[in-house]
Amino acid sequence: MLEKLKKEVYNANMLLPKMGLVTFTWGNVSGIDRKNNLVVIKPSGVEYDKLTPEDMVVVDFNGNKIDSKLNPSTDTPTHIYLYKKYLELAGICHTHSIYATSWCQAGIDLPTHGTTHADNFYGDIPCTKHLLEEQFVNYEHETGVIIYETLIKRNLNPKIMPAILCNNHGPFTFGDSPGKSVEIAKVLEIVAQMTFQSYLINKNNNQINQTLLDKHYLRKHGKKSYYGQK
């Protein structure tokens, strides 16, 4: 069932250790079949070198297992909630990569300090608020809710802001394919490290100005973009 998507999601998950984005089993990537509203995601707690495409778990929009002997990632409700809210999403990645997670643990936005950031994210990458005590009953679902509420409050969407920092937790990244969501996760990790090191060199705030941000983001993603080959 969904063999092509399983292979795509498997390949995306295998990029995580290859790109140095995960330790042990601390991460997951999913993809979605929009026609049938089925999500394919990494199984929970299985080491990457032991995974096969057939191990990828198929779940419906209620989180019910459709095709697998293994349990899906514990973060599955977060993925499902975001797929429901953002129909343009086709891939979601979650990691505990060191530098991006450090910003999550600091509980602050990742500011825009350079054109590497601006090429990929249209502004500061937001960090969510803390979950309330009562929200821990449905923790993974509520994580999706607070991600959505944060983006709405900031007037952002996954197209222009394909990453978010979950306070005290870790980053989620988004893409138009499972592989693209992993690519964004790698870019986020690099930018998080660059910004951290920038603060070590110069403690003064040196954020990019709006004109330079617009120039770099729009030349790559705008209607009149001219980056790359046509």
Q: Which residues are catalytic?
A: 119, 227
Distance CA 94, CA 28 (A): 5
Which residue in 213, 195, 143 sits closest to 171, CA to CA?
143
- Give burial (CB, 10 Å; 0-12/13-18/19+) of 77: buried
Estimate to the nearest angstrom the gap between the alpha carbon of 60 and the chain centroid. 20
3-state secondary structure of 127: strand
Q: What is the DSSP letter of 128?
A: P
The secondary structure of 40-94 as a DSSP string is EEPBTT--GGG--GGGPEEEETT--EEE-SSPBPTTHHHHHHHHHH-TT--EEEE
